[in-house]
Amino acid sequence: MELKILSNINSPVDLKNLTIGELNILAQEIRETLLEKISQTGGHFAPNLGIIEATIALHYVFNSPIDKFVFDVSHQTYPHKILTGRKDAFLNKDKYGTVTGFTNPHESDHDFFTIGHTSTSISLACGLAKGRDLLNGKENIVAIIGDGSLSGGEAYEGLNNAAVSGKNIIILVNDNNMSIAKNHGGLYKDLELLRETKGKSENNFFKSLGFEYHFVDDGNNIEKLIEALKKVKDIDHPVVVHMHTIKGKGYKDAVKHLEFYHYVSPFDLKNPKLMLEKKGESYSDISENFLIKKAKGDKSVVVITAATPGSVGLQKFREECKEQYIDVGIAEEHAIALVSGISKRGAKPVVEAVGTFLQRTYDQLSQDLAINNNPATIVVHHGGISNSSITHYGIFDIPLISNIPNIVYLAPTTKEEYLAMLEWSIEQRQYPVAIRVPNTAVISTGEEVEPKFDNLNKFLKVESGNQIAIIGLGDFFHLGKKVYDELKKIGINSTLINPRFITGIDEEMLYKLLEGHELVITLEDGVLDGGFGEKISRFYSDKDIKVLNFGAKKEFVESVPLKELYERYHLTEKLIIEDIMKIFK
């Protein structure tokens, strides 16, 4: 592909002297670059295709990095990266891996924050603006936020405060009528009305909060965008620019199937249907099939997601059980308080959540749900050590959830155990229950497990031995089994335990281990600090037995291969055995 314009763009200043015609060609070149690159590597597809023109206009009108852009959730910043000296990472196959998928201050002075969760940009921009004012700066601060992110409480808190700041802050609302999934909430009817009336509707959410308001009908028209942004540049008060863009613009199949093309795995641009092929059964499929059956048999069962039906696996459920499906949009706090209320009224709510996003709702877990001790089920997906982006690293759910009183947090090890826990949790009326979906391929024993977990904190002894006891939590039970097998090979007949419960310890069983065992090891797929193993260490700390806790170190990591992390944390049977042997020396 020939890049007439892009080949000369190495920083935003290179845009300044281009004509509108050249900027339009540049947009086309960036679009082609993105289509090729993302289809090869995977990544956020439709969000980036939709914001190319706006990114060009922003960099044309403003003077980054003096003027500062804060991109909400920042998965739509590939065009921004291309324009700010990082185009090689999108053009050169050998350099594809050299930039992250989100803004990253370690990569460029044009990025101010590492961002990956939604709804944060306005508050962060308010901070940059307040810092500017305290230090007598003069630059523009621009937050760029998608309509989907506007349903999150943090975005609203930011808007409410930005509105009265009395100083320069520009909020560019990128309205493509779509979150990851379809948007939900009253605000979206207002945005629709504003789009239909070209910004002239009487009811205007932004004006009601006190903002000066501008509307840009075609947010993929560079000329119109430049005109609009020039009007607000160097403004001395808060302003909202509401632009209407086409998510997925330039790839027909994406515009048709927006939810699907939000984030893609590598695919063939010319034959996109292949993407729909599925590989094997996942825990999400198991959840979904179970919940569909459950919901059809019991009209009081209701399943809630906070805008991630794809990540947790609810697309079929959504179709088949309409009235028993609620997508609250990006609004995790609401989701948790909601299920407390649903449960209090006697129905049976199940939240399907992504672990890292549950972080957004600690207080609701504690106050709305746990203090009230209402029976609701929270299914926690993608908790555990992974090669994910730093902002989506899922090792913190155990300290987050398990140190709150009243909540029962369960760690199934197999498909059958998972289903038994889910069934038990939905039907019991005593506890708020969270279930940690194994972060692995499905392991099935074929042997049904009884859905009975009322006897809280009873661990399951799977193998009885002596000398060493292995407590393997959830998906790491299987790592425990490997250690057990290795120990057997060298003549040690150890004890193997599936604790099942994260939120409490089986004191009776732990006391019994004091007989005949010299060492207890714990294995957990999460951070050690504040986690499960430390509770075992505390229990044994005044007793005559040693303990080794295996799990992740308290640190943020950016897209590190799983194998490397497992080595780093000694989470392979070989390294575990080595550590055990140091004790026995």
Please, are residues 519 and 580 in contact by the beta-carbon 8 Å criterion? yes
Closer by beta carbon to a second copy, 488 or else 538: 538
Comparing C-alpha atoms, which of 309, 337, 332 is closest to residue 322?
309
Minimum CB separation of residue 426 from a second copy in Å reads 13
Burial of 340 (0-12, 13-18, 19+ CB in 10 A): buried
- For a second copy, which stretch binds (CB under 8 A), given 33-41, 52-60, 203-211, 419-427? 203-211
Q: Based on CB atoms, which residue is closest to a second copy, 6 or 124?
A: 124
Q: Which of 5, 338, 422, 469 binds a second copy (CB under 8 A)?
A: 338
Stretch that binds a second copy, among 3-11, 34-42, 244-252, 354-362 (CB under 8 A): 354-362
Q: Which of 254/527 has CB closer to a second copy?
A: 527
Shortest distance in whole angstroms from residue 349 CB to a second copy = 8
> Binding residue for a second copy (CB under 8 A) from 130, 224, 233, 458?
130
Amino acid type, 72? D
Residues 135 to 164 in contact with a second copy, rule: CB under 8 A: 135, 137, 151-164
Touching a second copy, residues 218-277 (CB under 8 A): none
Nearest-CA neighbor of 246 among 73, 51, 71? 51
Q: Which stretch binds a second copy (CB under 8 A): 92-100, 282-290, 392-400, 506-514?
A: 392-400
Query: Site for a second copy (CB under 8 A): which residue of 45, 60, 113, 290?
Result: 113
The contact mask relative to a second copy for 442-481 (x = CB under 8 A, - = no) is: ----------------------------------------
**Of residues 554-583, which lie at the interface with a second copy (CB under 8 A)?**
554-556, 583
198 binds a second copy (CB under 8 A): no
The answer to whether 558 and 544 are in contact (CB under 8 A) is: no
Question: 222: buried, middle or exposed (CB in 10 Å: 19+, 13-18, 0-12)?
Answer: buried
Identity of the amino acid at 469: A
Distance CA 308, CA 314 (A): 8
- Side chain identity at residue 529, one-letter code: D
Residue 462 and residue 465: Cα distance in Å, rounded? 10
Q: Which stretch binds a second copy (CB under 8 A): 31-39, 493-501, 544-552, 568-576?
A: 544-552
Site residues for a second copy, 63-82, by CB under 8 A, read: 70
**364 touching a second copy, by CB under 8 A:** yes
Among 491, 477, 573, 572, CA closest to 522? 477
DSSP run (H or E) holding 20: helix 20-41
SS3 content of the chain, % helix, strand, coil (to 5): 45, 15, 40
Q: Should residue 112 be labelled a site residue for a second copy when binding is judged by CB under 8 A?
A: yes
What stretch of H or E contains 356? helix 355-358
- Nearest distance in Å: CB 421, a second copy: 21
370 near a second copy, judged by CB under 8 A: yes
Integer-rounded Cα radius of gyration of the chain: 26
- If the CB atoms of residues 55 and 183 are measured against a second copy, the closer one turns out to be 183
One-character DSSP codes across 320-335: H-GGGEEE--S-HHHH
Question: Which member of 10, 24, 41, 403 binds a second copy (CB under 8 A)?
Answer: 403
Within 10 A of 154 (CB to CB), how many other CB atoms are there? 20
Cα–Cα nearest to 430, from 468, 483, 377, 352: 377
DSSP string spanning 274-321?
GGG---S--HHHHHHHHHHHHHHH-TTEEEEESS-HHHHT-HHHHHH-
Minimum distance of a second copy from residue 122's CB (angstroms): 8
**CB 507, min distance to a second copy, A:** 14
Nearest distance in Å: CB 341, a second copy: 2
How many residues bind to a second copy according to rule CB under 8 A?
119
Min. distance of Cβ 133 from a second copy in angstroms? 8
Q: Which is nearer to a second copy, 95 or 344 (CB)?
A: 344
Taking the least distance from each CB to a second copy, the nearer of 282 and 359 is 359
Q: Would you say 160 or 265 has its CB closer to a second copy? A: 160
Which residues on neighbouring strands pair with residue 212, listed in sequence order? 239
Report 163-182 residues binding a second copy (CB under 8 A).
163-164
Joined tokens for residue 186: 């009253």
For a second copy, the binding residue among 7, 13, 95, 105 (CB under 8 A) is 105
Q: Which of 40, 41, 282, 537 binds a second copy (CB under 8 A)?
A: 537
What would you measure as the largest C-alpha separation in the chain, in angstroms?
Answer: 82
Going by C-alpha positions, the residue among 18, 22, 41, 20 that lies closest to residue 91 is 41
Rounded least distance, CB 329 to a second copy, Å: 7
Residues 282-311 that bind a second copy (CB under 8 A): 299-300, 302
- 190 lies in the site for a second copy, by CB under 8 A: yes
Residue with smaller CB distance to a second copy, 146 or 272 = 146
Nearer to a second copy, 22 or 529 (CB): 529
The answer to the question of residue 534 lying near a second copy (CB under 8 A) is yes
Q: Is 546 in the site for a second copy (CB under 8 A)?
A: yes
**Site membership for a second copy, residue 390 (CB under 8 A):** yes
Q: Compute the distance between CA of residue 262 and CA of residue 243 in angstroms, rounded to an integer.
A: 19
Q: What span, in angstroms and rounded, lies between the C-alpha atoms of 20 and 125?
A: 29
Report, in Å, the least distance between residue 303 CB and a second copy: 12
Contact residues for 181 (Cβ-Cβ < 8 A; gap 6+): 259, 307, 308, 309, 310, 327
* Interatomic CA distance for residues 518 and 544, integer angstroms: 8
Report the residue number, 34 or 159, with the smaller CB distance to a second copy.
159
The window from 39-47, 229-237, 313-321, 401-409 that contacts a second copy (CB under 8 A) reads 401-409
Closer residue to a second copy, CB minimum distance, 39 or 522: 522
